[in-house]
Amino acid sequence: MTYASARASNCGTCNVKEDLSNYWTPKLYYKAQNGSFISVPVEGDDGHGNLGGMAIYYLQRPGPDNDTLVPFPENFRMMAGDTKPKKLQ
């Protein structure tokens, strides 16, 4: 996905048409007693195509510096954590 393709997209699950946000979250698995891994469903995912999801809220509260808030620049990327960990993070 590129910045341009994300901005040009017209599909999504958000009810707010102007919301062009893209979020990725890791899939969570449960390790059963027999050693197998079971996918933990997202709340609202009933296994029949009714997908749940997550809600992200951006709140702009009053403050002396809020007039300086600006959108992220084009092609902005953010990464957290060590990209080459030697142990679990």
The per-residue pLDDT of the chain, averaged, comes to 73
- Whole-model pTM: value is 0.34
85 located within any domain: yes
8 located within any domain: no
Q: Report the number of secondary-structure helices (H) and strands (E) in the chain.
A: 1, 2
Taking CA atoms, 86 is separated from 29, 44, 70, 83, 89, in Å, by: 22, 35, 36, 10, 9
70 located within any domain: yes
58 located within any domain: yes
Number of domains, the chain? 1
Q: Which domain does 45 fall in, by range?
A: 21-89
4 located within any domain: no
87 located within any domain: yes
Q: Taking residues 42-62, what's their average pLDDT?
A: 64
Q: Which residues of 60-81 are buried (b: 16+ CB within 10 A; e: fewer)?
A: eeeeeeeeeeeeeeeeeeeeee
13 located within any domain: no
The pLDDT of residue 68 is 72
What tokens were used for 58? 């951006």
